[in-house]
Amino acid sequence: MASEKTVGVLGGGQLGRMLVEAANLLEIRVNFLDAAGSSAKQVSAHEGHVDGSFKRREAIQELANRSDVVTVEIEHVNTDMLEEIANEGHDVQPSWKTIRTIQNKYLQKCHLKKFGVASTESAELEENTIKQLEKISGELGLPLMLKSKKDAYDGRGNFAIKTKTDFKSALDFLGAKGELYAEKWANFRMELAVMVVKTKDGVFSFPTVETIHEDSICKLTYAPARGVSKEINKKAQELAKQAVACFWGKGVFGVEMFLLMNDELLINEIAPRPHNSGHYTIEGCPVSQYEAHLRAILDLPLHQEDLELREPSIMLNILGGEAPDSHLLVARKALEQRRTKIHLYGKGEARKGRKMGHITVCAPTMSQAERLIQPMIDFVDRDKP
């Protein structure tokens, strides 16, 4: 057993599933708090799990009582409860303060600004009115991105405002989603991401990757980022590490960035947990983002060399499609491809756009990896106009 400590996780989706796959190899016990039969619980048979919602007080308390270190696979959790259990002496990693600051994307931006970390300029709406948007668009210019402060993922809390005529539809679309803020439009050349690991000994980083989003959902990740100089690659890693260093506690963090036309880098957002843009590390690096998270929160050794890329890697998400089994067709097609690793998350029912699995291809060169993955990209795009 690599650690005597038991890990408790709020949430048991695909990130938890891949976390426990890494934990199993080290005989580390992981308790999940989520619905019975959730993705992560399916691959972890023991009596320590808690069934229920990770937003419920009693359930969180129960998980904490059964675990030595409490962590999260989703940031949309009850941080008052995490604060309470931390005050009772439970080890919460990363800190509830980090999760509370990051889960509110506007607070996250203010925190980064306070620490001098370059990120997209933001302004909050005092009230969700056209008048406020008039004022803010005067400051930040148009287009701008209107965003929900909380509970956002896969772009669902975002609305791109191109002209003043979009003000009303933006508020109609997001107005009911609580407090809003606006971000200056990032006219980016590429989107980059870096997984960062914060341990008791310091801050380490995986390579800089390129992410391609479609309909605001991550579709592809290229590691390393294509056509990006060594300097920018390094600068992105440094910026990501600088950002993570200003938060409290230990663990893995996903840092999303924009590379602007003038090569300036700005942080888009941070996730205080394993991240979609780090799935490639399972096959691509000696230690995956999941194992790195466990090592960080359990104070086990970790070296920068463990996080270096072994071979160029491309990850393609398998999303739910029009038919309930569309994602299975993609997986079956992927079985025919060479050098392709398939991960299915055991979520059962597919909804359009729901993350059902992913594929990773590693090859000695990026162009080989690109050639190998192309039939799969063509397959998932087959019905596109």
Q: Which residues are near Mg ion by CB under 5 A?
A: 256, 269
* Interaction between residue 186 and ligand ATP (CB under 6 A): yes
CA distance 63 to 71: 10
List the one residue from 108, 268, 317, 360 that touches ligand ATP (CB under 6 A). 268
Q: Of Mg ion, ligand ATP, none, which one does residue 186 interact with (CB within 5 to 8 Å by kind)?
A: ligand ATP
- Residue 105 or 295: the one with the smaller Cβ distance to Mg ion is 105
DSSP string, 227-275: T--HHHHHHHHHHHHHHHHTS-S-EEEEEEEEEETTS-EEEEEEESS--
The 10 Å Cβ neighbour count of residue 359 is: 25
CB of 14 to ligand ATP, least distance (A): 13
Instruction: Pull the structure tokens for residue 200.
Output: 């008791």
- Residue 255 or 334: the one with the smaller Cβ distance to Mg ion is 255
* Interaction between residue 283 and ligand ATP (CB under 6 A): no
Residues 306-335 that bind ligand ATP (CB under 6 A): none
List the one residue from 168, 213, 234, 310 that touches ligand ATP (CB under 6 A). 213
The type of residue at 281 is T
* Interaction between residue 145 and ligand ATP (CB under 6 A): yes
In which region does residue 89 sit, left (phi positive, over 0), alpha (psi from -120 to 50) or beta (all else)?
A: left
* Interaction between residue 269 and ligand ATP (CB under 6 A): yes
List the one residue from 95, 104, 120, 221 that touches ligand ATP (CB under 6 A). 120
* Interaction between residue 189 and ligand ATP (CB under 6 A): no
CA distance 240 to 275: 14
- Of 69, 65, 34, the C-alpha closest to 50 is 34
CA distance 62 to 10: 11
**Segment lying near ligand ATP (by CB under 6 A), choices 145-153, 233-241, 291-299, 305-313:** 145-153
**Segment lying near ligand ATP (by CB under 6 A), choices 78-86, 111-119, 155-163, 166-174:** 155-163
Give CA separation, 248 vs 101, 164, 259, 306, 342, in Å: 10, 40, 26, 23, 35
* Interaction between residue 154 and ligand ATP (CB under 6 A): yes
* Interaction between residue 210 and ligand ATP (CB under 6 A): no
Assess contact for 91 and 68: CB atoms under 8 A. Answer: yes
**Segment lying near ligand ATP (by CB under 6 A), choices 1-9, 25-33, 156-164, 296-304:** 156-164
* Interaction between residue 152 and ligand ATP (CB under 6 A): yes
